C-alpha cells in the first residue's frame, strides 16, 4: 500500500527541502562485495545467482526504513511492501521489465522470480505491480564492470542496484555493486550502511 505523508513529519524534512527540486538529486555508491557464499549456494541449490542477489537486496532493503519512503511528483510517499524489478531478455532479443514481490521465504521468492521472468520473456510484455516500493536492479553480466550509473529521469526515482560479471580468483569471487538512490530518500551514510548490510546478508545466506 502507498500513502502520501507530510515530509515535515519525518526525518527527511531537510533533505526534501534541499533536494526535491534539485536538477540531479541522485547519489551513486559502489562497493566490491565478496560473493563466495552466494556462488557456492547457487551451485549447491541450483538457484540462479541473479535471483539470489535480488533476494539478498530485497532482504536487506526490507530491514532498512529508508527504502519505504520515495519522493514522487513533488510529494513524499510511504510504502508498506517491497518488490524487486529485474530486466528480462525476451525471446525476440529485446528487453522488458518485471516486478517481483519480495518474500522473506527465499523458496517462495525463487518460484515467483522464475514464473514471472519466464512469462515476461515469452510474452515480450513488461509486468508491473502497483502499491509496492520498487527496488530496481540491472545485471549486465556480459563483462566485468567497475561501476554503473543509471540515467536520471523523473519517471523512475526509485533506488537502483546494478552489477556486471563477477570476478573469479583462486580464493575469492568478488562483484562491484553500484547503488543509486534519490537524496531525499536517504543520505550517503544511509546508502553506505545499506551496502555494508547487503554484504552481511550475502555472507549469511
Cβ-based neighbours of 146, under 8 Å, separated by 6 or more: 30, 176
Instruction: Report yes or no on 20 lying in a domain.
Output: no
Give the three-class secondary structure for 141.
coil
Say what the pLDDT of residue 126 is: 98
Per residue in 111-156, pLDDT (tens digit) is 999 999 999 999 999 999 999 999 999 999 999 999 998 877 777 8
Please report the pLDDT score of residue 150 as a whole number: 85
Q: What is the mean pLDDT of the chain?
A: 95
Number of residues written out for the chain: 205
Instruction: Tell me: pLDDT of 55 over 90.
Output: yes
Asked if 99 and 82 touch (Cβ cutoff 8 Å), the reply is: no
Q: What angle do CA 119, 163, 51 make, to 5 degrees?
A: 40
In-domain check, residue 84: yes
Residue 155 maps to which CATH number?
A: 3.30.559.10
Q: Is residue 176 part of a domain?
A: yes
Contact by Cβ (8 Å): 19, 184: yes
Q: Quick check: is 120 in a domain?
A: yes
Domain-embedded: residue 24: no
Within a domain: 39:
no
**pLDDT bracket for residue 171 (50, 70, 90):** confident
Q: Give the distance, in angstroms, between the CA of residue 76 and the centroid of all CA atoms in the same chain.
A: 19
Helix%, strand%, coil% for the chain, nearest 5: 35, 30, 35
pLDDT at 61 over 80: yes
Q: Identify the band that residue 189 occupies on the pLDDT scale cut at 50, 70 and 90.
A: very high
Host domain of residue 186:
50-204
Distance, in Å, from the CA atom of 103 to the CA atom of 111, rounded to the nearest integer, reads 10
Instruction: Give the count of domains, the chain.
Output: 1
**Grid cell of 194 as nine digits:** 545499506
Kindly state whether residue 21 falls inside one of the protein's structural domains. no
**Predicted TM-score of the model (pTM):** 0.96
- Identify whether 74 is part of a domain: yes
Q: CA nearest 148: which of 28, 52, 58, 56?
A: 28
Amino acid at each position: 500500500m502507498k500513502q502520501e505523508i507530510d515530509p515535515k513529519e519525518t526525518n527527511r524534512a531537510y533533505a526534501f527541502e534541499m533536494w526535491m527540486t534539485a536538477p540531479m538529486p541522485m547519489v551513486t555508491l559502489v562497493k566490491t562485495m565478496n560473493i563466495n557464499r552466494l556462488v557456492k549456494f547457487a551451485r549447491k541449490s541450483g538457484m540462479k545467482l541473479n535471483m539470489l542477489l535480488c533476494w539478498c537486496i530485497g532482504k536487506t532493503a526490507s530491514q532498512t526504513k529508508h527504502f519505504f519512503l520515495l519522493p514522487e511528483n513533488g510529494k513524499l510517499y510511504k510504502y508498506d511492501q517491497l518488490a524487486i524489478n529485474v530486466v528480462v531478455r525476451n525471446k525476440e532479443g529485446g528487453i522488458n521489465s518485471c516486478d517481483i514481490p519480495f518474500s522473506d521465504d527465499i523458496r517462495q521468492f525463487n518460484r515467483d522470480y522464475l514464473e514471472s521472468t519466464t512469462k515476461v520473456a515469452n510474452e515480450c510484455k513488461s509486468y508491473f505491480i502497483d502499491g509496492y516500493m520498487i527496488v530496481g536492479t540491472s545485471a549486465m553480466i556480459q563483462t566485468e564492470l567497475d561501476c554503473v550509473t543509471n540515467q536520471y529521469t523523473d519517471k523512475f526515482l526509485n533506488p537502483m542496484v546494478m552489477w556486471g560479471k563477477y570476478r573469479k580468483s583462486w580464493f575469492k569471487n568478488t562483484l562491484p555493486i553500484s547503488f543509486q538512490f534519490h537524496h531525499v530518500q536517504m543520505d550517503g551514510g544511509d546508502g553506505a550502511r545499506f551496502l555494508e548490510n547487503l554484504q552481511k546478508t550475502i555472507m549469511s545466506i
